[in-house]
Structure 1
């Protein structure tokens, strides 16, 4: 009894310190956010120019440019994951409000990030090569694709809310034969107790995360593909884009594992999952609302259509 009281008394000031630390971090980010965004944009434009230079070297039969192209594309993907983006926001929101296994926390964000490269390749192949559209028309198509991807993120947020509300409905009791010697405990693995199967995502939810991340192609990937197609070395452009997606995927996977670990430690800090069962649907609903608000912001702030092509607007 005394040990439980001391533990409870220790958690209260620790939780207060944690809240103050989070508020301080949020204040610092808010204060320097505009400078951080400007740095990200400037770095992105600089890397765009380097990648274009390496493509020009390949076009001039300087094969060393291929190695530098792949290294630069991988670095671009890693740095792209550090800056603000929809993939990081989706992964952070989902994993912080839903219980997932370590395997799912690795694979789902990884596949979603790779899908960004695949969607960029399909976008350019279908429109630029298949339909032979001009740069301005492709910029218009990109504008519509980004609008649609924002809608998909909002739909996924609504699906999270739907699942949370569905879990609140009373379930019908089913009578089944139970062995008389079976005892329910934490090691039995039957899933009839605690938060076990209730919080594990199914394939529909995982597919929703992948689609929400991967349906929005990276503008840098589209630029590389467009420029490589104009130079007649589209195979190098595809290789660079998938290398770029690999760098992003590895970074996002690291972020997802960090978020999952932070969630598990937070639950353990406040006494485990059993005492927080009542808050689970509320947290899920809050996560869905955040995703809907984020999707609305993305929908309203899509990069405008460029008559000369997006690679011109990207500083190339």
Structure 2
């Protein structure tokens, strides 16, 4: 067995078999997940009612059950996993960033649920109709953010392709020297006190950055891209987390009616952590698959294809996000869609 087969083809083969098994078992797993969530709702309701008699034991079980509910809830289908997998698969981010995105999005769901219920129901004591209207608009904002994220990827990558096509003359590594002047002795001793442009007038910025003084005068492309990564990452987190979880809403309302609202808040955040844990594992799977596919295609694509293919994939995914967000947004305008299912007729 060759080294290349062990390093590239064997992991891909194992991954393909694992995905085939998961796809074949997913319908059954999804049906069981719905059944388990229903049972967990009953367990949460029973545990909440027991807190007054057994605060420590019942409260601990409430946290454990809520965490498990959030984990199982993340296994089911949802636009959040689609957005997250698309972003992780098309952007070269690190594992630490992936974990941060999944946890922030999940925790934001819990925070939004607590904030909305606390403001509308607990503080303002408004009717269920106001809460249903609030959640409807939170859903619409989430779907509009999905459309905005898709448009952002589409415009950004199309501009990058356009700029690449316009560059007909490749730049040399040393740049175009137009003027050379001799430096003073004092300036030669302390070269990094002056700008490199006082010695060389060049058109290649990489040559300026390598003046030999040990200091970085200009940011490299990786640092510049890192500065702009927060925009799509923020939209990913908001588009997933701004829509509260239905299980969290159920727990908060039940805890409010039982006069145990603080325990409902604790259970909601435990659900958010459970969801974040499941999404983190999902993100690890996406990152592993992406790395293996990059290694697989490294020696099979030309330099021209390798330069444009990732940009085209991002543009395609941007179009898919725009379509998905538009369809979900249109669904909220239908009489039977939008708002909390807890208050549907």
TM over 0.5: yes
The one of 328, 333, 340 equivalent to 1:298 is: 328
Partner of 1:259: 286
1:224 aligns with 2:239: no
Per-residue CA deviations over 1:86-106 (Å, capped at 9, x if unaligned) read 221111011111111222112
Query: Does the 8 Å CA contact 2:331/2:338 hold for their aligned counterparts?
Result: no
Distance 1:266 1:197 in 2: 25
Secondary structure at 1:53 match in 2 = helix
Partner of 1:110: 103
1:61 aligns with 2:53: yes
Q: CA separation of 1:212/1:312 partners in 2, compared to 1, >3 Å: closer, same or farther?
A: closer
1:137 aligns with 2:137: no
CA-CA distance at 1:191 after TM superposition? 4.7
1:40 aligns with 2:33: yes
CA-CA distance at 1:249 after TM superposition? 0.9
Distance 1:197 1:289 in 2: 27
Distance 2:113 2:246 in 1: 8
Secondary structure at 1:132 match in 2 = coil
Partner of 1:202: 229
Partner of 1:187: none
Query: Does the 8 Å CA contact 1:73/1:241 hold for their aligned counterparts?
Result: yes
Q: CA separation of 1:35/1:54 partners in 2, compared to 1, >3 Å: closer, same or farther?
A: same
CA-CA distance at 1:116 after TM superposition? 0.7
The one of 253, 264, 272 equivalent to 1:237 is: 264
CA-CA distance at 1:197 after TM superposition? 5.9
Aligned residues: 290
Segment of structure 1 superposing worse, 274-283 or 246-255: 274-283
CA-CA distance at 1:219 after TM superposition? 0.8
Query: Does the 8 Å CA contact 1:109/1:209 hold for their aligned counterparts?
Result: no
Query: Does the 8 Å CA contact 2:128/2:343 hold for their aligned counterparts?
Result: no
Partner of 2:93: 100
CA-CA distance at 1:168 after TM superposition? 2.0
Partner of 1:164: 157
Partner of 2:308: 278
Per-residue CA deviations over 1:226-283 (Å, capped at 9, x if unaligned) read 1111221111011111111011112211211221121112111111798422111101
CA-CA distance at 1:199 after TM superposition? 6.7
1:25 aligns with 2:20: yes
Q: CA separation of 1:260/1:34 partners in 2, compared to 1, >3 Å: closer, same or farther?
A: closer
TM-score, structure 1 as length reference: 0.78
Bigger radius of gyration: 2
Partner of 1:119: 112
* RMSD over aligned Cα atoms: 3.6
Query: Does the 8 Å CA contact 1:100/1:199 hold for their aligned counterparts?
Result: no
Per-residue CA deviations over 1:114-146 (Å, capped at 9, x if unaligned) read 111111111111211232122343233222322
Distance 1:269 1:34 in 2: 30
Secondary structure at 2:280 match in 1 = helix
Secondary structure at 1:170 match in 2 = helix
Query: Does the 8 Å CA contact 1:149/1:212 hold for their aligned counterparts?
Result: yes
Segment of structure 1 superposing worse, 63-72 or 133-142: 133-142
Partner of 1:287: 317
Where does structure 2 lack aligned partners over 5 or more consecutive residues?
172-202, 214-218
CA-CA distance at 1:35 after TM superposition? 5.3
